[in-house]
Amino acid sequence: MSRFLSNKFDRLVPYTPGEQPKNAKYIKLNTNESPYPPTDRACRYAADAATELNLYPDPELSELTSSLAVKLGVEPDELLLTNGSDEILDFAFGAFCDAEHPATFPDITYGFYEVFAERNLVPFEKIPLDGDLNIKVDDYIGIGKNIFIANPNAPTGILLPICAIERIVRSNPNNIVVIDEAYIDFGGESCIPLTKKYDNLIVTGTFSKSRSMAGARLGFGVACKQLTTDLNMLKYSTNPYNVNRMTAATALGMLEDEQIIRERCNEIIDCREYTSNALTALGFTLTSSRANFVFARHKALGGKYLYDELRRRGILVRRFDLPRIEDYLRITVGSRDDMKILIRELTEIMGGANK
């Protein structure tokens, strides 16, 4: 750190991303990426867009915005595209939270919420999950703070029903509720339709997980027009060209291939069930995940031990060194072949540990 860093960042601890190894020697099950590449069509569109990279992108991203708006069933001015959904989450902290409007979120959730709060100098309160790692909905009723909830939650994968989200939104009419739907395509129901009914709801989504575009960075937010206007103010005060041409073109291709994406999501869901059953048979207990990962802990072996053993055998998973979840592994549901290797290696580890 230099002697020039502003002391306003004294308490800022940056987000630690999952490891991105430089070589291919690992089976990567640690950052919830899709095992599938973008579709052929999407790659073709990206290649075409590369020939126009001398030109700035359309700051309004009109074509992609209308295409996605149709798919989501909203008006184009109720939708805002960003550089990953991390960016729109950051905009939401920046636009709506301050000392008079603190933020609140579960104690176990996407680690970036706390980082965004600190970076935007926003006071925040973390609300504990219950003993089974569920969000206690009643704790958020009429809380009078801006609320950030991932649904399904991360890293548990547990999904709240729409009626629970609606209760939270309805009971906090003078605060913003942000529902982060990064994993909604793996068996959840989106609460985007509620944005028509409530002027305090923002739903965010991403092309990183179900749409195979983590490397391209595209996220979005849906809300009433007044809220998107505020969020756009931050976009145009930060980086009007936040989504680049190749990303926008790739996304257009992925939207045209919606059928393929749906089939891939179904395959991931099947594979999640296969993985969950195999892990249960090996003595793991799992949360009920509706995401493209499972969250599992073993009845006898610690999380750190399992993480290290898997890594030594060429499999990267994610583990959080936090109270209550330190013995859990968050394992991305990858291809079926990768999951078979995972189960094979875990079976061997169990065998070795029993000797």
Ligand X SMILES: *Cc1c(COP(=O)(O)O)cnc(C)c1O
Q: Confirm or reject binding of residue 214 to ligand X (CB under 6 A).
A: yes
Shortest distance in whole angstroms from residue 5 CB to ligand X: 25
Strand partners, 79: 222
**Closest CB to ligand X among 97 and 182?**
182
Shortest distance in whole angstroms from residue 100 CB to ligand X: 26
Laid out side by side, the sheet with 328-332 consists of 284-286, 293-298, 328-332
Q: Confirm or reject binding of residue 114 to ligand X (CB under 6 A).
A: no
Write out the H or E segment, with its range, that includes residue 265: helix 258-281
Shortest distance in whole angstroms from residue 4 CB to ligand X: 29
State residue 110 phi and psi, 5-degree precision. -60, 120
- What are the angstrom distances between the C-alpha of 161 and each of 107, 164, 188, 207, 285? 20, 5, 8, 22, 23
**Closest CB to ligand X among 171 and 238?**
238
Shortest distance in whole angstroms from residue 177 CB to ligand X: 15
Q: Confirm or reject binding of residue 293 to ligand X (CB under 6 A).
A: no
Write out the H or E segment, with its range, that includes residue 125: strand 124-127
Q: Confirm or reject binding of residue 208 to ligand X (CB under 6 A).
A: yes
Q: Which of 122, 182, 222, 249 binds ligand X (CB under 6 A)?
A: 182
Q: Confirm or reject binding of residue 150 to ligand X (CB under 6 A).
A: yes
Shortest distance in whole angstroms from residue 2 CB to ligand X: 28
Q: Confirm or reject binding of residue 181 to ligand X (CB under 6 A).
A: no
Helix axes 62-72, 245-256, angle to 10 degrees: 30
Q: Confirm or reject binding of residue 154 to ligand X (CB under 6 A).
A: yes
**Closest CB to ligand X among 95 and 179?**
179
Q: Confirm or reject binding of residue 216 to ligand X (CB under 6 A).
A: no
Q: Which of 33, 78, 114, 180 binds ligand X (CB under 6 A)?
A: 180
Angstrom distance (rounded) from CA 303 to CA 17: 19
Shortest distance in whole angstroms from residue 304 CB to ligand X: 22
Nearest CA-CA partner of 222 in 70, 15, 27, 20: 70
175 contacts: CB under 8 Å, gap ≥ 6: 101, 143, 144, 145, 146, 147, 200
**Closest CB to ligand X among 333 and 349?**
333
State residue 280 phi and psi, 5-degree precision. -60, -45
Shortest distance in whole angstroms from residue 148 CB to ligand X: 10
Q: Confirm or reject binding of residue 38 to ligand X (CB under 6 A).
A: no
Q: How many helices (H) and strands (E) does the chain have?
A: 10, 12
Q: Which of 195, 200, 206, 212 binds ligand X (CB under 6 A)?
A: 206
Q: Confirm or reject binding of residue 244 to ligand X (CB under 6 A).
A: no
Stretch that binds ligand X, among 4-12, 62-70, 206-214, 263-271 (CB under 6 A): 206-214
Question: How many residues contact ligand X, by CB under 6 A?
Answer: 12
Enter the tokens of residue 164. 């629970």
**Closest CB to ligand X among 57 and 205?**
205
- Residue numbers 263-292 binding ligand X by CB under 6 A: none
**Closest CB to ligand X among 36 and 110?**
110
Nearest CA-CA partner of 147 in 175, 116, 112, 114: 175
- Residue numbers 73-112 binding ligand X by CB under 6 A: 84-86, 110
**Closest CB to ligand X among 39 and 212?**
212
Angstrom distance (rounded) from CA 211 to CA 350: 35
Q: What is the DSSP string of 291-355?
A: SSEEEEEESSS-HHHHHHHHHHTTEE-B---STTTTTEEEEE---HHHHHHHHHHHHHHHHHHH-
Q: Would you tell me which residues interact with ligand X (CB under 6 A)? A: 84-86, 110, 150, 154, 180, 182, 206, 208, 214, 219
